Structure 1
Amino acid sequence: MTFTILGRDPETGSIGIGIATYSLAVGATCPFMLPDSSVLTSQAAANPKIGETIITLIRNDCKPVEAMEQAVRHDPYPEYRQIALLTSTGETSVHSGSRTRPFSGYSEGKDCIAVGNFLKSEQVLEAMTNEFNGLHTEASLIDRLIAALNAGKHAGGQEGSNGKRLAERSACLMVHTSGEQFPVSTRVDFSGDAIPELQKAVNAYQTMHKFYLTRATNPADLPPQDQFSGNLGSS
């Protein structure tokens, strides 16, 4: 009961992921990122160890797609898993297990993959890749990922065992831009409508991202954070 978009912007070197789901605290278990290399999700019957294994293999010089295939081969329950990977160079790999809840599958677009399970229909995933690719390329990767989540929601989103619509109770977004020390990473762990809450969190965080990047590498000349935030509010 999850829908996910993985995307990249080859012009800026950005790579990222957005997830929305009925499950709680999705940002704690499903998304994984290795900056300047790969982004992935391990979902459905989520097991964070799968993502951790893939990232470790890549760090140890295994090619990303091979790392994912190796992790799937060694998983005792691959039929219950959905795993999708996108590299910074545009390589993709998707595993959608035979026992993930229908509708379950994926849709590939230009520089993106949508993957999900427990969905209303395959149109949810198609709407996501179409929205991602339909936005003007001047739109930021963050905006395109959130727009894709909204498109999935409006195309029917998740459908429960009883055939009724399921709310998105948690959501997350991670985007890394080449050259930056750490990604934009925001999450909503529990909400009745998580995607708009995620948008709010992202909007708030983006005003501070450059401050946090500078603080990590050269904090000497920065004002206190409360002063910086206050100046933003008065501008």
Structure 2
Amino acid sequence: MTFSLAGRCARTGMLGAVVTTSSIAVGSRCQHAAAGIGAALTQHMTDPRLGPLALDLLRRGYSAENVIKALVGATPRSDWRQLAVIDAYGRTAAFSGASNKPEVAEAHGKDCVALGNIVRSKDVPFAMVRAFEAEPGQPLAARLIAALKAGDDAGGEFKPLVSTALVVADKQAFPYVDLRVDSAADPIATLARLWQEYEPVADLYVTRAIDPDSAISPP
């Protein structure tokens, strides 16, 4: 009952992930990203420990494919897990265990990988990939949200969506964007609105951290 996408912006090198589900507070469990390293998704009977572990393995030089193999091999009951990884070069890998409930699908595209489980159609992740690839000149956050909307339009979940989350990593150890909707009637629309509000000040908050003397507060 979750669909998600991890992606990379070839123009800026930013990495990020977006996810939505019919359970509360999905952002505390499923999406992970690190600047210059990659992004990871972990869902379906989610083990939140696997996201940071995936990023650590990428940091150590593992390929995306070998990261997934290592996670599956080291995880008890990996048959319950659905996982995806993208590295800093846009290479992807994914895994859907045998105990994942249908419909279950994975889709790989240029600089992106999408997952879906307990969704209405296997086309959900493929629709997300198509939307992500459609406008490569747009900010990564906007492309990730567009992918989420496309997944919902392609069938989405059987239950009403409740929560969604977006994370984007740029050059710093902290996220460039980290937005979460924990409980809402239309979480994707709410996330899109939050990004519209945050986009004008995103660079400012980075400047405040690394060069506070030059930071100008928003009106």
Please state which band the TM-score falls in when normalised by the shorter chain.
Answer: over 0.9
Task: Output the CA distance in 2 between the equivalents of 1:57 and 1:148.
Answer: 27
CA contact 2:64–2:92 (8 Å) conserved in 1: no
Return the offset for 1:174: 1.2
Alignment map for 1:32-51 (pairs within 5 Å) = 32-51=32-51
3-state SS of 2:11 partner? coil
Aligned residues: 218
Percent identity, aligned pairs only? 32
1:51-66 alignment runs, 5 A limit:
51-66=51-66
Cross-structure match for 2:118: 118
Aligned position for 2:150: 151
CA RMSD in angstroms, aligned pairs only: 1.6
**Which residue in 2 is equivalent to 1:200?**
193
Matched, 1:229 2:213: no
Q: Aligned residue for 1:6?
A: 6
| Counterparts in 2 of 1:202 and 1:76: CA distance versus 1, 3 Å | same
The corresponding residue for 2:109 is 109
Q: Following the alignment from structure 2 to structure 1, what is the Cα–Cα distance between the partners of residues 53 and 109?
A: 27
- Listed one character per residue, the Cα deviations across residues 20-47 of structure 1 (whole Å, up to 9, x for unaligned) are 1111111111111121111001101101
Q: Secondary structure at the match of 1:48?
A: coil
Given that residues 181 and 213 in structure 1 are in contact (C-alpha distance below 8 angstroms), is that contact kept between their aligned partners in structure 2?
A: no
Query: Residues 37 and 59 of structure 2 are in contact (CA less than 8 Å); yes or no, is this contact kept in structure 1?
Result: no
The residue aligned with 1:162 is none
Higher-Rg member (1/2):
1
Structure 1 runs of 4+ with >6 Å offset = none
Counterpart in 2 of 1:83? 83
* Alpha-carbon distance change, 64 to 122 in structure 1, aligned in 2, over 3 angstroms: closer
Q: Which segment drifts farther, 106-115 or 39-48?
A: 106-115
- Partners of 2:34 and 2:173 lie apart in 1 by 11
Match of 1:220, as an amino acid? Answer: D
- C-alpha distance in 1, partners of 2:121/2:60? 38
Residue number among 175, 191, 197 corresponding to 2:168 in the alignment: 175
Q: Distance in 1 between matches of 2:80 and 2:173?
A: 35
CA distance in 1, matches of 2:55, 2:8: 18
Q: Given residue 91 of structure 1, which amino acid in structure 2 is its aligned partner?
A: R
Determine the C-alpha separation between the residues in 1 that align with 2:84 and 2:134: 22
Gapped runs of 5+ residues in structure 1? 160-165, 231-235
CA distance in 1, matches of 2:173, 2:199: 15
Partner of 1:187: 180
TM-score of the aligned structures, taking structure 2 as reference length: 0.93
The separation in 1 between residues aligned to 2:172 and 2:60, in whole angstroms, is 22
